Structure 1
Amino acid sequence: MESEESLGNADKDDYESSAHSTPQEHKSFAEIAKDKLDSAGRELRRRLPMAGQLGAHLIHPRRLLLHSTPTQHTDVVLIFPKGLPDSMLLWLLQKLRGSRPRLQVCVRQHATSQCSAFYITADDDVLLQTAEEVHLPKLLKPEFGGGYKEFTVRDMHCFQKGTSAAELLNSQERGALVKHVLEAARAEPGDEHALEPALTLRPGQSIVPACVSRGVVASMFPLHDRQALESLRKKWVKTLFTPQPLDEISEYFGVKIAMYFAWLGHYTQSLTVPAVVGFIFWIWLGTANENWKDIAYVLFSLFNVLWACVYLETWKRYSNVLAYKWGTLDQRDDLLVEPRPLFQGEMGISPVTGRPEPQYAAWRRRVWRHCVSFPVMVVCLIVAAAATTAFLRAMDWWETRIVYFTWIPRAFLAIIIAIEEELYARIARWLNDKENYRLETKYENHLIVKIALFQFVNSFMSLFYIAFYLQDMDKLKEQLAVLLITRQVIGNLKESALPYIIENLRLAKICVDVFGAISPSKAPTSAQLTEMFEKKTDSSGGSPENNLINGGTEKDGDRRDSEPVIGQKVIHQAELESQLFKYDGTFCEYLEMLTQLGHVMLFSSAFPLAAVCALLNNAAEIRADAFKLCHVAQRPFGQRISNIGSWQHAMEAMVAVAVLVNCALIGLSGPVHRLLPDATPAQTVLVIVALEHVILVIVLALRMAIPEIPGWLATEMAKVEFQRREAIKNAHAPLMSECTSQDDVRPPSRNTATPTTPKQNDKPERKKINIGKIPEIPPFS
């Protein structure tokens, strides 16, 4: 009753304010209608208050994110599944708190999901030491040569914003560094059975990644920075025709995600050329005579191949510019990079760094790859090709014999293709795990090869069947148009729209459970909630297990807070973000765009508007992917890369296949026969083969003629190197006077702008940070 009265008073105030908001005596018809609708809505909410509030939740549930209490002093959150034994939580807590360097861990229990969570951060000295350990590149001050150099604590004053860790490291880098410390916690002898039956550990195995892969940890994510995220939403998601803020994306989400959006933007911009040419060619087909149509068909097919080659080479140049700008152009040697957390092997001493790390014989990987992975991949490809061909033959038989309900075999084909893709993806990941690659880049590159090859067979088999077996160009055009449009629409709905709706329903349920009939728009402000949370006291006594998990010495404000949170109508930022979808990375996005690029390069001569469809789709795809990152998904951890990896090689291989396919289509579709009516079949084949070789030579010449590093970038890199040498010569700083090894002073012919740290045998003894003396500061005050 009290809530109804307060709601009625609020409605009355709203009514009075709206009644006096228009000074004119005579209102327009639209204003009168609006007042009537508002009045009806208020009457409905008065009679059905809960229904009105539930409607407000369903329409604006995301307001809860704005009114949640910010989670302070937390960089990474670990969410555990409901019902996980406290003994496992206690063991993991002891491992993380006892890690070196030391982490600060606070235990919480989320009120809405009843799941336990670890809120994790690290002291500034720990973060700086970890930044030096992972060789994080940071910008030097101009007086010390400028450009990027790997960070060292000793030379911190030489870096821009190097006065403190808070200024030097952004939120994305802090989350990545805390994640690195988490992954450094490894199992010791005697820990094998600590997490059974869920997981059996091996000595030397990284604990947290193993728990994530086996479901002991439900999710691990860094928290969003609200101010930076809101800025990205305004500049990136809510705009359509402005350039993407790539530098802000790189700073907030990391170089890997920023590189994907840079590639997608460059690809979309490049598509304008074949889109315009294809549109002109499509109009030309309706007005020209048969002879000119054949000439235009040949020229358009060759144009597609040459465009794709030029596009890939210009992307290489652009990606190198971005990598230099973001400090990733100069990558460390593979043997100096830390092994990936899930890399397995017997613990040993690295011959390069002298540190303990897993060791795995390379011959065992090669034996598995050649004796198991390759045969299994071949069998899967044969089965997929045979299944697709069988269903295509069944479709032809259905259309000629039954005629009606032709959608039935097409639906079965779509279902079979989806099942094959899901099944093969699981097989490919299992094979890749067994191959046990040391580096994350190697693991992902080999996974790209496996899945992209299968995707090529699965996605293009129907088009090859129609083009080269049935030799029906009209049906090929129809099938290509259907694939392009349906895949684009379904993909956007599946990736962004459906998760957004499901997530809104989740947040609406949280609104109702936590705030009852109070709309999130009428909830207290964040400052009021924070003040109320700081004043609350926990009067209930905790169980021995609860006290033990929280360390036994935690303050009352750091205990599990399920009851006070609901009672005080407080919900934390970390609890809300744990309900968001996990971002699965850029793998699926790259795979989708690679398939689309294949449709444009291989068969757009049969459907000239393919590039137009791709251009329109990608214009929406950029904002849909941005929307998913900024509104739907948990914040991913930032990663540093120098290029898009094997996706570049996959696209270059697609260009070679496009040369063969387009030349074959020219020979089969009839232009050569009509242009050379007196040629014999053997002569026609020779003409097609000669044309194919000419195009391949032109493609090779274009790759050699377009340098991967622009001239101005090479000049800029040499300039930075010269300035750094001059700084060393003049001894402007301890950094420049002490670091005189060949790793810091490199010849300009190496085309690099990021010097590495000095060698172990060249550098003086470094002042160490005594981690053991760092006081434990409670994450929440």
Structure 2
Amino acid sequence: METVGAVGNHEKEDHEKNSSHSSPQEHRSFAEFAKDKLDSAGRELRRRLPMAGQIGAHLMHPRRLLLHSTPTLQTDVVLIFPKGLPDSMLLWLLQKLRGSRPRLRVCVRQHASSQCSAFYITADDDVLLQTAEEVHLPKLLKPEFGGGYKEFTVRDMHCFQKGTSASDLLNSQERGALVKHVLESARAEPGDEHALEPALTLRPGQSIVPACVSRGVIASMFPLHDRVALESLRKKWVKTLFSPQPLDEISEYFGVKIAMYFAWLGHYTQSLTVPAVVGFIFWIWLGTANDNWKDIAYVLFSLFNVLWACVYLETWKRYSNVLAYRWGTLDQRDDLLVEPRPLFQGEMGISPVTGRPGPQYAAWRRRVWRHCVSLPVMLLCLSFGAATTFALLRAQDWWESTLVYFSWVPRALLAVIIAVEEEVYARIARWLNDKENYRLETKYENHLIVKIALFQFVNSFMSLFYIAFYLQDMDKLKEQLAVLLITRQIISNLKESALPYLIENLRLAKICVDVFGAMSPSKIPTSTQITEMFEKRTNSSGEPPETLLNGGADDLERRDSEPVVGQKVIHQAELESQLFKYEGTFAEYLEMLTQLGHVVLFSAAFPLAALCALLNNAAEVRADAFKLCHVAQRPFAQRVSSVGSWQHAMEAMVAVAVLVNCALIGLSGPVHRLLPDATPAQTILVIVALEHVVLVIVLALRIAIPEIPGWLATEMAKVEFQRREAIKNAHAPLLSECPSQDDVRPSSRISPRTVTPTTPKQNDKPPKRVFVGKIPEIPPFS
């Protein structure tokens, strides 16, 4: 065989040599001749330097590694540990996760590129289904059972669409979220306090994994990407500029919270077309109109922008309710039934609602901290920020009037100080929020929004208020607003997408060099060697010997099979661990809230503000999508019913806009020119009356536009009627009165003879009806 291969290679080389010495006349064109020469040169280079072509290709296009890496199969969540973490901590965490109830399947690997240890975690189908029932995951019912969303139960699995198996019923983002829930349910027991010292001191009842993530014991935790679904999303979402966003696919892949943000951003961007067109026409018309008409247009445009913002917010409420109904989150469970956030701290006790053990924290302690510590610190920070900005603006005026030269110095200093203040205050706000110790994630985020949004408002708009109401210089206000709006948008896009993308490509290029070039293949340990090492250490610690994978040797060979030592491979999980962590939608919402303030607060001073915002947001949608699909690790999915407190923040911004625009109308001159004989007192009365009229109109619009559209209310009633009819046909009296949040049947409490039917297999016959006394056992609907 070797002789035949050698002869074949010599023939191939002779053929290449002949083709390389062929003349241009033998080719149909000079381009084909040049192409043939380049191809032969490339073959010769690859023959002499086998790795050169591979390394060069990866260095030129390092992101190809994400497509050509070895898929990490049967893994839902990956835990990455920092380099140099003591083996004792890894072994303790491994034993805790392996011994958790319900049991997880954990595989240990060491990444060749970073020399970091990693846990690859998944769970069996029965564990995932039980966890889905525990977290009350809503799933679609079959039409014959009434349709719509219903909280999942294992007993009624056959009633749900695709309810034949866990692989059909649960998608990849739901599997990742369920495994994360199981990880967070592993809590410290008495005697575990010093297991992770000095990095972390645990308290009995504390959730172990979130505490490790917050203190750096775990460097990162993320679910793996589904390559097929991600590539489909890239084609439909990132690579298209003018097609609608595939919101349903975004919700299915990234979760409802991220899909709701992109739906809001798309709706906001579309709504900006109205003030953008009107503002552009107003800007053109100002160049030809006389002063009298300019004053009238100034007043009308200010009022128009405020009313537009109000209508936009109300239409978004309606649209968000439609999306929440489509994605099964419109009717959220009661707050007292929701599991506490993983970092919630408290003494272990019995919940008065569920009767289960859980951390308890007195509400009065939170109120004392909030009023005695958080509020004074917030006021102090706000006062310091406002005073600093005011002092720098005064210094800027003095510099421009006295020194004249280098007028950019105070402006640059102001920009730097504002950026530093924002970063420092964000850390203070998060620390205060952590100390307030909120039980629910929604409460925690809502109070964080209040803290940071207030400071952002003062920091971002202090200079504009100073120019508008202290200097009363409309030309300077126009320039300052234009500079702030445009520069913040450019810097934000570069910072959020372009810079991380560049850094990430450099990381991937370094992996190419390390693994395919500089690093010796014989030095790359395989996961089998790592498993043997951990087994020895586990056995020496007194634990019974068993494989790191909780399924035995067969599963180990199936999930952790690797080529022999010396063959260069990079696993999908290893590459994704090098991506940036997605920090959530908080920063994006905050950026858009500031932009909305620039559009509606001082809109008449710069009529093109809405047009600039529209152009920016058209690129922002794709930039944020690009960041999610190309730059960041896959985030864990979260279920929300709306944008939360950001809706209240935008409504507050519109209320402030009414006051600011009416005050600008009175101070900037239109009222004085339109009513020259009015006294100052009469002018104030006119402005106050105008303000009250606008507020009444805004209130009337909120009342006139219902939050739930009529057709949606009809559809919800139709589904409810179909469910009641399904129950009536099954002869189950009064079950329609059971609340959807509870999966408790009165019959199961009365009779101890309740029989739970097993979930039928795909080819089995439909399940038979099981009777408890005289009441048939059927799924509860409401």
**TM-score, normalization: structure 1?**
0.88
For 1:89, the equivalent position in structure 2 comes to: 90
Match of 1:749 in 2: none
Distance 2:174 2:25 in 1: 52
Quote the offset at 1:48 in angstroms: 9.7
| 1:769–1:662 distance in 2 versus 1, CA, 3 Å | same
**Contact 2:20 / 2:40 at 8 angstroms: preserved in 1?**
no
Q: List per-residue Cα deviations over 1:176-227 (Å, max 9, x = no partner).
A: 0000000001111111111000000001100000000000000000000000
> What corresponds to 1:194 in structure 2?
195
Instruction: Flag the 1:350–1:767 CA change in 2: closer, same or farther, 3 A.
Output: farther
Alignment of 1:336-415 (within 5 A): 336-415=337-416
CA 1:233–1:398: 2 relative to 1, 3 Å: same
| Preserved CA contact (<8 Å) 1:741 1:762 | no
Residue in 2 that maps onto 1:300: 301
Matched, 1:553 2:546: yes
Indicate how the Cα distance of structure 1 residues 677 and 147 shifts in structure 2: closer, same or farther if over 3 A, else same. Answer: same
Letter in 2 for 1:466: I
1:129 aligned partner: 130
2:247 counterpart residue number: 246
Contact 1:110 1:561 in 2 (8 A): no
Give the corresponding residue for 1:742. 737
Note if contact 1:110-1:562 (Cα within 8 Å) is conserved in structure 2: no
Query: After alignment, is 46-55 or 631-640 more displaced?
Result: 46-55
The 2-side partners of 1:14 and 1:486 are apart by 59
Show the 5 A alignment for 1:236-635.
236-516=237-517, 542=533, 544-545=536-537, 552-554=545-547, 555=553, 558=556, 567-635=566-634
Q: Residue 741 of structure 2 aligns with which residue?
A: 756
Cα distance in 2 between the residues matched to 1:292 and 1:37: 70
**DSSP 3-state at the match of 1:138:** strand
Distance in 1 between residues matched to 2:756 and 2:65, nearest whole Å? 45
* Separation in structure 2 between the aligned mates of residue 539 and residue 381 of structure 1, nearest angstrom: 53
In structure 2, the CA distance between the partners of 1:768 and 1:18, relative to structure 1 (3 Å rule), is: farther
User: Mean Cα displacement is larger for which, 16-25 or 376-385?
Assistant: 16-25
Deviation at 1:76, TM superposition (A): 0.5
Matched residues in 2 for 1:22 and 1:178: separation? Answer: 66
* Alignment match, 1:108: 109
Q: Secondary structure at the match of 2:353?
A: coil
- Tell me, yes or no, if structure 1 residue 677 matches structure 2 residue 676: yes
Deviation at 1:758, TM superposition (A): 3.1
Give secondary structure in 2 for the equivalent of 1:567: coil
Structure 1 counterpart SS, 2:144: helix
- TM-aligned CA deviation for residue 161 of structure 1: 0.3
Q: Take 1:629 and 1:489, find their aligned partners in 2: how far apart are those partners?
A: 19
Contact 2:108 2:119 in 1 (8 A): yes
User: 2:292 & 2:659 partners in 1: Cα distance?
Assistant: 23
The aligned counterpart of 1:79 is 80
CA distance in 2, matches of 1:157, 1:538: 44
Counterparts of 2:407 and 2:529, CA distance in 1: 67
Q: Residue type of the partner of 1:196?
A: E
CA distance in 1, matches of 2:474, 2:565: 65
Shift of 1:740: 1.3
Shift of 1:95: 0.8
C-alpha distance in 2 between matches for 1:152 and 1:11? 70
Residue of structure 2 in register with 1:60 after alignment = 61
CA distance in 1, matches of 2:619, 2:435: 38
Paired-residue identity, %: 84
Alignment match, 1:524: none
Displacement after TM superposition at 1:317 (Å): 0.1
Mapping of 1:4-43 within 5 angstroms? Answer: 25-26=28-29
For the pair 1:169 / 2:185, whether they are aligned, the reply is no
Distance 2:231 2:500 in 1: 20
**Deviating more after overlay: 583-592 vs 568-577:** 568-577
Distance in 2, matches of 1:508 and 1:500, equals: 12
Per-residue CA distance 1:664-718 (angstroms, 9 max, x = gap): 1111111111111111111111111110010000000000000000000000000
* TM-score, normalising length: structure 2: 0.88
Q: Which residue of 1 aligns with 2:723?
A: 724
- Deviation of 1:344 (Å): 0.6
Would the alpha carbon gap of residues 628 and 15 (structure 1) be closer, same or farther in structure 2, given more than 3 Å must change?
Answer: farther
The CA deviation at 1:603 is: 1.0
Unaligned stretches of 5+ in structure 2? 1-8, 520-524, 548-552, 759-782
The gaps in structure 1 that reach 5 residues or longer are 1-5, 519-532, 745-754, 771-781
Q: What is the CA–CA distance in structure 2 between the aligned matches of 1:683 and 1:434, rounded to whole Å?
A: 50
Q: CA deviation at 1:409?
A: 1.1
User: Partners in 2 of 1:286 and 1:115 — Cα distance?
Assistant: 64
Distance (Å, rounded) in 2 between the aligned partners of 1:392 and 1:156: 65
Q: 1:763 to 1:667 in 2, by over 3 A?
A: farther
- Following superposition, the deviation at residue 514 of structure 1 comes to 1.4
Note the C-alpha offset of 1:66: 1.3
Compute the displacement of 1:516 (Å): 2.2
Once the two structures are TM-superposed, the CA of residue 36 in structure 1 deviates from its matched residue by 8.9
Deviations 1:245-291 (A, max 9, x none): 00000000000000000000000000000000000000011111111
Q: Distance in 1 between matches of 2:489 and 2:17?
A: 45
Q: Which amino acid is the alignment partner of residue 77 of structure 1?
A: V
- Would you say the 8 A contact 1:50–1:517 is kept in 2? no
Q: Report the residue type matching 2:162 in the other structure.
A: K
- Range with greater deviation from structure 2 (645-654 or 503-512): 503-512
The whole-number CA distance in structure 2 between the counterparts of 1:500 and 1:12 is 44
Query: Which whole-Å CA distance do the structure 1 matches of 2:727 and 2:531 have between them?
Result: 64
**Deviation string, structure 1 residues 510-544 (Cα, Å, up to 9, x no partner):** 112212299xxxxxxxxxxxxxx99x976997473
Q: Helix, strand or coil for the counterpart of 1:274? A: helix
Q: Which residue of 1 aligns with 2:222?
A: 221
Distance in 1 between the 2:687 and 2:386 partners? 27
Alignment of 1:645-724 (within 5 A): 645-724=644-723
Alpha-carbon spacing, 1:13–1:258, altered in 2? closer, same or farther (3 Å)? farther
- How many aligned positions are there? 733
Checking the alignment, whether the CA contact within 8 Å between 2:345 and 2:359 is kept in structure 1 is yes
Secondary structure of 1:516's counterpart equals helix
Instruction: State the 1:145 CA deviation.
Output: 0.4
8 Å contact 2:20–2:37 — kept in the other structure? no
Could you report, residue by residue, the CA deviation over 1:146-176 in whole angstroms, capped at 9, with x for unpaired residues?
Answer: 0000000000000000000000000000000
Worse-superposed segment, 46-55 or 507-516: 46-55
How far 1:108 sits from its partner (Å)? 0.9
Structure 2 Cα separation of the partners of residues 569 and 541 of structure 1: 21
- CA offsets 1:332-360 (integer angstroms, 9 cap, x no match): 11111111111110000111111101111
How has the CA–CA distance of structure 1 residues 709 and 540 changed in structure 2, closer, same or farther, with 3 Å as cutoff? Answer: closer
Deviations 1:282-304 (CA, angstroms, capped at 9, x unpaired):
00111111111111110000000
CA contact (8 A) 1:124 1:165 kept: yes
- Displacement of 1:56: 3.0
Quick one: which amino acid aligns to residue 607 of structure 2?
P
Letter paired with 1:673: H
Q: Deviations over 1:76-129 (max 9, x none)?
A: 011111111111111111111111111111111111111111111111001000
Task: Give the drift of 1:507.
Answer: 0.7
Question: 8 Å contact 2:418–2:459 — kept in the other structure?
Answer: yes
Query: 1:406 Cα shift?
Result: 1.5
Change (3 A) 1:15 1:337: farther
Asked if structure 1 preserves the Cα contact closer than 8 Å seen for 2:724 and 2:736, the reply is no
2-structure distance, mates of 1:20, 1:173: 62
Distance (Å, rounded) in 2 between the aligned partners of 1:19 and 1:729: 86
Alpha carbons of structure 1 residues 691 and 18: separation in structure 2 relative to 1, 3 Å: farther
